[in-house]
Amino acid sequence: MTKENIVNIDGDQIKESDLTPEQHHHKNHVISLRNKLVKLQFEMDDLMPSLKFHEQALIETTQKQAEELGKEEATIKEV
């Protein structure tokens, strides 16, 4: 005896065989979209530390450059 699949839709338990073709279509899209969102969230979690590292490196190098330019301008004004 095979067990029939039951789907939970907004708190209601419905036999998958009772779904209309349109409902199957929407159910499949919901499953697909949820899976894609999980995958994209994983990728975002993976990418964010790298983005933050490069943003911080850019900030630090531009600050160093600005400090060096400021020192050069001060030296020029002293002469």
How many other CB atoms sit within 10 Å of the CB of residue 19? 16
pLDDT at position 79, please?
44
pTM, two decimals, is 0.66
pLDDT at position 1, please?
61
pLDDT at position 26, please?
97
How many other CB atoms sit within 10 Å of the CB of residue 24? 12
> Distance between CA atoms of 4 and 34, rounded to whole angstroms?
23
Kindly tell me if the per-residue pLDDT of 78 is higher than 80: no
What is the band of 70 on the pLDDT scale with cuts at 50, 70, 90? confident
In tens, the pLDDT along 34-69 reads: 999 999 999 999 999 999 999 999 999 999 888 887
